[in-house]
Amino acid sequence: GAVVSQHPSWVICKSGTSVKIECRSLDFQATTMFWYRQFPKQSLMLMATSNEGSKATYEQGVEKDKFLINHASLTLSTLTVTSAHPEDSSFYICSAYGTSGTKSSYEQYFGPGTRLTVT
Amino acid sequence: DAKTTQPPSMDCAEGRAANLPCNHSTISGNEYVYWYRQIHSQGPQYIIHGLKNNETNEMASLIITEDRKSSTLILPHATLRDTAVYYCIVRVATGAGGTSYGKLTFGQGTILTVHP
């Protein structure tokens, strides 16, 4: 199956700083990518959907000015958590589907996740 | 997208088949049944999906009832590495090219524990 990578796998930052998380599709082109957040012992919650070359669509309750998403190419999307606070500490997971050759993929592939801890 | 109901937890002995049920009684005609699993501290992993016919791949089998209101994921020979949270998700998915995909909405899933 298709491979999605994330960088970094874990990050610790101080309150008030910003942190950027990268999501890459390694062997396929991802026209659409998704960002999820998962708090301990909870399920994944969709934060936003990003389409290459256009603005991201955020889920209700997710602050677009705090969670900046850039999907500048068919293989890279970034999530920047601005002015991070301890309550932003979470497991952030990206996901992607798109074209692989001439066939669209029905399956949505997930990255390994990024553990963010804000102190 | 239709909601799904799964038991919160299940146990299975190593080497035996694990049968994970899922109810999706409000499923629509254009909604597929997807299964993902999440091993602790990792991203979800795609397992299998189907519309109305039973499906099988190298990981699992998916049995969908004739009325499509429920399904069962079968891991034929569970191993310790199959211990994970298993998510059953119903999602709209139409054909290739100009496709409209529904969102993958995760519920609480079933915690499957495979023991020796």
Is residue A54's pLDDT more than 90? no
**3-class secondary structure, B80:** helix
Q: Across the interface, do B104 and A34 touch by the CB < 8 Å criterion?
A: yes
pLDDT for B2 equals 64
Please state, for a pLDDT cut of 90, what percent of chain A lies above it: 71
Q: Across the interface, do B106 and A44 touch by the CB < 8 Å criterion?
A: yes
**Selection from B31, B33, B30 nearest residue B20 by Cα:** B33
pLDDT tens-digit series, residues A75-100: 999 999 999 999 999 999 999 975 55
pLDDT for A103 equals 47
* Angstrom distance (rounded) from CA A91 to CA A19: 13
**pLDDT, one tens digit for every residue, chain B (116 residues):** 668 999 999 999 999 999 999 999 999 888 899 999 999 989 999 899 899 989 999 999 999 999 999 999 999 999 999 999 999 999 887 655 445 567 788 999 999 999 99
Segment A95-112 shows an average pLDDT of: 70
Contacts of A92 (CB under 8 A, 6+ apart): A6, A21, A35, A36, A37, A38, A79, A81, A113, A114, A116
pLDDT tens-digit series, residues B18-35: 999 999 999 988 889 999
**Selection from A50, A69, A51, A47 nearest residue A59 by Cα:** A47
Which of A35, A51, A106, A116 would best serve as a mutation to test chain B binding (most B beta carbons within 10 A)? A106
CA angle A79, B87, B24 (to 5 degrees): 120
Q: Across the interface, do B104 and A95 touch by the CB < 8 Å criterion?
A: yes
Segment A11-27 shows an average pLDDT of: 95
Task: Please give the residue of chain B at the shortest CA–CA distance from A107.
Answer: B46
Q: Which two tokens stand for residue A50?
A: 């990003």
Provide the β-strand partners of residue B11.
B113
Provide the β-strand partners of residue B46.
B36
